[in-house]
Amino acid sequence: MNAAAKLPFLKETMRIAGKEVTSDDVVEVRNPYNNELVGTVPSARPEHVREAFAKARSFKSKLTRYERQQILMRTAETLRDRKEEFARLISAESGLCWKDALYEASRAYDVWSFAAQLIVRDDGETFSCDISPNGKKRKIFTQRMPLMGVISAITPFNHPLNMVSHKLAPAIATNNRLVLKPTELTPLTALKLADVLYEAGLPPEMLSVVTGNPGTMGDAMITDPDADLITFTGSVRVGKHIAATAGYKRTVLELGGNDPLIVMEDADLDKAADLAVQGATKNSGQRCTAVKRILVVSSVADEFSALVLEKAKKLKCGDPMDPDVDIGTVIHEGAAKTFEQRVNEAVAAGARLLHGNDRKGALYPPTVVDHIPYDTELVREETFGPVIPIIRVPDDINEVIRISNSTAYGLSSGVCTNRFDYITRFINELDVGTVNIWEVPGYRIEMSPFGGIKDSGNGYKEGVWEAMKSFTNVRTFSMPWG
Ligand code: NAD
């Protein structure tokens, strides 16, 4: 199969403990590029969610580490072997271009294979107790246990396969049971992944996928009595609603970002401009860690801006299925209209539009805007599309750090400088989860700790190993020791 292959219409069902379940109503999934109906999924009612949690809770996995490792590795290998088939579906339901969709599918291999490999790691600790005058000849040990209840997982549209994988793989690695609600915008990829897992030997009770509108069944995912932990990736607005509704339940919240790429006066400007353009436009600019503010010091801003413009002009935006296209659509026309409006408002406030902003439906081209006044919605809010926004800042590192920290968000950052005194200050003083020197803010590997602070997250990290830790309870036990 390749980019040109036509996808059959998918009339999907939910998977409740492996059983295919329908409902009276459906949610339509449309291709954002041509508005064609890609498929439908059932519109779950709260009782479907209840059934999924109750079935999961009544099952206790007896899988050994080795058995889980085999399931995880078989899943990784299937995703690798069927990469193009997954990419085709990802692109059809999200409008991501073929290059981005293939990358999305190939990243998933890493997530599943790292989970399979990390399963052999046991971070249990041992404490000898005869270490103080109050001590005894005993030892205290720790071991990780799966949660008593069920994990509730809620995922966004921008990485239809990876955001789901980052919740499922660590949950399975730790022998947990899970109910997943993928976004109503791109649910088809998640259902296809569930089938791969069942085929790989996952006991079906360990994973249910419920689909539908959050207005009808969202709260059921947050308040179900059998849900112990809610792992959520998505917007700040919904994340805060979950935090307010979940009560005593644990919440792992991975939320929005407004990440800077900082360009200092000593930077190699050509290299910095590459990072700026790539970081702002990959995945149609729809990454939580996309470059959403380029903070360039005034002394090099003219030269840098010209390089950014030259590189942005080379990007091709158009039919997502054209293998040469660099930028497909954004998630829907409504989102594209918001970007257009924010750019127009910034221009009215004094910014200069250098390229783009000519929208066609959900196609929104790479758009270079320079001289952006700091207090415009375009850069104060998270603009989740391929806008490349240049903000000129004073040649003073104190001001650069102050401006960078002045948003409500704190996810990641990228820094272009070779000066060691600057580098150490950025690492120590930027209020973010990650500082990448000479890389885009989004740079990571799938098992390194990842996640934000402030409005970007509640401090729990994702990345396969961190998620395995947050999905477990530590049991402490002690024994007499001679
Ligand atoms: P969203 O918050 O609109 O939706 C995310 C999920 O929440 C969807 O499944 C949606 O159906 C569900 N939801 C909506 N209302 C709900 C409710 N009341 N109760 C329960 N569930 C509800 O986010 P989105 O637009 O799909 O995704 C984009 C956002 O995700 C951006 O802000 C982006 O930065 C963020 N994101 C963050 C990370 C990270 O790791 N920090 C990664 C990817 C995306």
The pLDDT of residue 147 is above 70: yes
Cα 394 to averaged position of ligand 1 atoms, centre (Å): 35
User: What is the H or E stretch that residue 27 is in?
Assistant: strand 26-30
Residue 174: the pLDDT is 98
Which ligand 1 atom is nearest residue 462's CA?
Answer: 40
Q: Cα(265)–Cα(108) distance, rounded to whole angstroms? A: 38
CB of residue 255 inside a 6 A radius of ligand 1: yes
CB of residue 94 inside a 6 A radius of ligand 1: no
| Residue 97 Cα distances to 81, 189, 461, 469, angstroms | 20, 15, 29, 34
pLDDT bin (cut points 50, 70, 90) of residue 4 is low
**pTM for this prediction:** 0.98
Give pLDDT tens digits for 77-134: 999 999 999 999 999 999 999 999 999 999 999 999 999 999 999 999 999 999 999 9
CB of residue 338 inside a 6 A radius of ligand 1: no
Give pLDDT tens digits for 447-462: 999 999 999 999 999 9
Residues 6+ positions from 302 with CB-CB distance below 8 Å: none
- Taking a C-beta distance cutoff of 8 angstroms, is the pair 374, 273 a contact? no
Q: For 252-280, what is the mean pLDDT?
A: 98
CB of residue 295 inside a 6 A radius of ligand 1: no
Q: Beta 26-30 vs 37-42: how paired, if at all?
A: antiparallel
Give pLDDT tens digits for 421-454: 999 999 999 999 999 999 999 999 999 999 999 9
Q: For residue 20, indicate whether it is catalytic.
A: no
Residue 389: the pLDDT is 98
User: What is the H or E stretch that residue 389 is in?
Assistant: strand 387-393
Name the percent of the chain lying above pLDDT 70. 99
Q: Which of 254, 439, 446, 466 is catalytic?
A: 254
The pLDDT of residue 1 is above 50: no
| Phi, psi (rounded to 5 degrees) for 160 | -60, -25
Cα 180 to averaged position of ligand 1 atoms, centre (Å): 13
Q: Whose CA is nearest to atom 28 of ligand 1?
A: 234
Give pLDDT tens digits for 39-60: 999 999 999 999 999 999 999 9
Residue type, 467: A
Q: For 277-291, what is the mean pLDDT?
A: 98
What residue has token string 């009612």?
A: 45
Q: Cα(210)–Cα(260) distance, rounded to whole angstroms? A: 36
- Taking a C-beta distance cutoff of 8 angstroms, is the pair 226, 133 a contact? no
Q: Cα(389)–Cα(379) distance, rounded to whole angstroms? A: 8
Residue 3: the pLDDT is 56
As a dihedral over the C-alpha atoms of residue 375, residue 378, residue 384, residue 387, rounded to 10 degrees, the angle is -130
Residue 6: the pLDDT is 75
CB of residue 413 inside a 6 A radius of ligand 1: no
User: What is the H or E stretch that residue 181 is in?
Assistant: strand 178-181
Helix, strand, coil shares of the chain, percent, nearest 5, are 40, 20, 40
Helix axes 83-94, 187-199, angle to 10 degrees: 160
- Taking a C-beta distance cutoff of 8 angstroms, is the pair 100, 159 a contact? no
Q: For 213-220, what is the mean pLDDT?
A: 98
CB of residue 154 inside a 6 A radius of ligand 1: yes
Q: Cα(291)–Cα(281) distance, rounded to whole angstroms? A: 8
Counting ligand 1 atoms within 8 A of each CB, the residue from 224, 238, 462 with the most, and so the one to mutate, is 238
Task: Give SS3 for 148.
Answer: coil
Token readout for 418 is 């070779």
Give pLDDT tens digits for 320-352: 999 999 999 999 999 999 999 999 999 999 999
Locate all alpha helices (DSSP H) within 44-97, ordered by sequence.
46-57, 65-81, 83-94
Task: Give SS3 for 66.
Answer: helix
Counting ligand 1 atoms within 8 A of each CB, the residue from 233, 446, 448 with the most, and so the one to mutate, is 233
Residue 482: the pLDDT is 81
The length of the chain, given as a count of residues: 482
Cα 256 to averaged position of ligand 1 atoms, centre (Å): 8
CB of residue 3 inside a 6 A radius of ligand 1: no
CB of residue 209 inside a 6 A radius of ligand 1: no
The pLDDT of residue 2 is above 60: no
| Residue 279 Cα distances to 105, 175, 343, 465, angstroms | 19, 36, 18, 25
Which ligand 1 atom is nearest residue 222's CA?
Answer: 20
- Taking a C-beta distance cutoff of 8 angstroms, is the pair 108, 130 a contact? no
Counting ligand 1 atoms within 8 A of each CB, the residue from 185, 186, 235 with the most, and so the one to mutate, is 235
Burial class (CB in 10 A: 0-12, 13-18, 19+), 248: exposed
CB of residue 254 inside a 6 A radius of ligand 1: yes
The pLDDT of residue 270 is above 90: yes
Token readout for 317 is 């935006």
Residue type, 83: K
